[in-house]
Structure 1
Amino acid sequence: MISRVTQQTVQRSTLANLQLNLSTMAGMQAKMSSGKKITVPSDDPAAASDVLRLRGELRTQTQYVRNADDGGSWLTTVDTALQSSLSALRRARDLTVQGGNGALGTSSREALATEIDGVRDTLLAQANTTFLGRNVFAGTSDAGTAFTKDAVTGRYAWTGTAAGTVDRRINATTTVRVDADGAVAFGDDAAGDTSVFALLDTISTTLRAGGDATASLGAIDTRMEKMLTQLAGVGARHGQVLTAQTELKSTQLTTKAQLSGIEDIDLAETILQLQAQQTAYQGALGAAAKVLQPTLLDFLR
């Protein structure tokens, strides 16, 4: 039995094919304008799942990069402060050695004592160094300064928190300490560890009194050793952060390349496909125009 094909059947089939061609072309134009293969998850569910996973990894890696950059800035600040403190303390040691010259007069001793007082103030300023409003030698303490001086007793106290360290996570399994222990580096009179500031006060007082300040050279050397120990630790942690920064940037590039391979279109191929689809659509329009030409008058003839 032969099926009967009516004019209405032909028209419906033609319009359906036109709509399909137009829908396909609209999808390709959407890909061209967005530059992405996947505009909605239904375009490719498996690829969409991979894209979501890679984007999550990329966000995590970006946060680790921020953490590493912030940690590197902290450690650079600490390193600079300790380097300056060591330089100032070496100057104080040289002045103390000069003060051991028994031929120095009162005015010369006073000049040396005054310069040592200046070194003490420099060290105190370095010990109270801040980064973005946070004291780098006070741990997680929210005190205004890492070291304070009691106006009555003249003792210098560390206001930091011994158990509270400032850490930055640089990957899924590693955290790095980015501050330094001010009580170890500079001493804490309140805890029984004579601070470098009190030590320099003692030396300047001895010089003004005409005594032998060289007796304090051993104490200066001890304080320098503790600063050097802290500086070495900061350097090691800074190296760890720098290595992590390099690895994270490399990992980011790899993840971005994988993401691009999944969701980005091949521009040249898409342009050719779109041109071919436009040609097919134009041909379909021409065929439809001929099919849809007959009118009621044509059937009444």
Structure 2
Amino acid sequence: MTRITHQTIQQRTLANIQANLHRMSDLQSQLSSGKKIEVASNDPAAAASAMRLRTERGDLAQIERNVSDADSWLTTIDTALQSALAVLNNARDLVVQGGNGALGQTSREAIATNIEGLRDSLLGIANTSYLGRNVFAGTSNAAGAFAAAEDGTYPYQGSGAPVERRISEAVSVRVDSDGRAVFGTPEQGNSVFALLDDIVAELRTPTGNPTSRLDALDSRMESVRTELSALGARQRQVQTAQATLTDAKLTNTTRLSEIEDVDLAKVLLDLQVQEVAYKGALSAGARVLQPSLLDFLR
């Protein structure tokens, strides 16, 4: 028969009390932090899953910044193209007005001056920038997408490389606009700025007929509309990505919460149970360890 000594009872009682106290400490730590996992050893599998979800959260945060930046680029371009179309519509109305043979040269000069102002406004629109980047110049860091050269031409200073933003794991969207396709270039012989200069020259020539340039002007306006249409498709892509990203963030947060966050009601109940057990263990230990040598000598 195994002999049970007071020392054995004392060691077992103290060990049980210490284990109970350790469980209370863990529960109090969970209650104060609100987290089930404080170190990986608490639950290695859950800790690994939480790390993967946090990495995914970082990726989602980067994509969110990309989507926001893409939306700002596209909104800037949309505003610029709408303004450009309004300027060209105004210019077209003036061209039709200037084609009235009853107008005197003074009136034609006034229209020519007005169109020059519209040309300058259009050049400013073509050099629109966002955060210091020209939205019609690709990846170029030139001062502007177009310049007014001394020889009367308007050379394109952009690059052919598009600016893109990744809006999902597998999808990137172009966020700039090709200024050459919208405004034309001297090399292509379809520069809208040169076209407006030609109209001005027609108006300042007594026998000039500015309406002969209407077809060319309409062609440039159609180019702007085409770009607006393409831009709208890309904006829809970005908006869809924003909606998908919102759902992905919510799912990530929910899954991470399920793994890491404690059930406060359950932890409170468990803590109360452990406190009762701890007090009971202390009381039992006090009774068991109470006898001394003097008690046996009596």
TM-score category by the smaller chain?
over 0.9
User: Are 2:274 and 1:273 equivalent residues in the alignment?
Assistant: no
Using structure 2 for the length normalisation, give the TM-score: 0.95
Which residue number in structure 2 is paired with residue 192 of structure 1? Answer: 188
Map 1:119-138 to 2 at 5 A. 119-138=118-137
Which of 137-146 and 6-15 deviates more?
6-15
Q: Which stretch shifts more, 5-14 or 176-185?
A: 5-14
Alignment partners' CA distance in 1, 2:261 and 2:125? 52
Partner of 2:84: 85
Amino acid at match of 1:129: T
Moved more, 139-148 or 28-37: 28-37
TM-fit CA distance, 1:299:
5.2
**Which of 216, 236, 240 lines up with 2:233 in the alignment?**
236
| Equivalent AA in structure 2 for residue 167 of structure 1 | E
Give the CA deviation at 1:82: 0.5
**Cα distance in 2, alignment partners of residues 282 and 113 from structure 1:** 98
SS of 1:223's equivalent in the other structure is: helix
* Deviations, residues 111-143 of structure 1 (Å, cap 9, x unaligned): 111111111111111111111111000000011
Alpha-carbon separation, structure 1, partners of 2:225 and 2:184: 13
Structural RMSD (CA): 1.5
Match of 2:204 among 190, 201, 208: 208
How far 1:4 sits from its partner (Å)? Answer: 2.2
**Alpha-carbon distance, 1:296 to partner:** 5.3
Q: Which residue of 1 aligns with 2:21?
A: 22
* C-alpha distance in 1 between matches for 2:92 and 2:246: 44
Range moving further from structure 2, 100-109 or 57-66: 57-66
What is residue 160 of structure 1 aligned with on the other side? Answer: 158
**SS state at 1:168 partner:** strand
Shift of 1:193: 2.9
Q: Find 1:221's aligned residue among 195, 218, 221.
A: 218
Looking at structure 1, the residues matched to 296 and 124 of structure 2 have their Cα atoms a distance apart, in angstroms, of 102
Residue 252 of structure 1 is matched in structure 2 by 249
Where 1:80 maps in the other structure, the secondary structure is helix
- Offset at residue 197 of structure 1 (A): 1.1
Deviation at 1:72, TM superposition (A): 1.0
Aligned equivalents of 1:297, 1:78: Cα separation in 2: 96
Aligned residues: 297
Q: Mind listing any 5+ residue stretches in structure 2 that lack a counterpart?
A: none
Q: Which runs of 4+ in 1 moved over 6 A?
A: none
Q: Give identity over the alignment, percent.
A: 56
TM-score by length of 1: 0.94
Note the C-alpha offset of 1:36. Answer: 1.5
Query: Which shows bigger deviation, 128-137 or 282-291?
Result: 282-291
Deviation track 1:13-32 (CA, whole Å, cap 9, x = no partner) reads: 11111110111011111111
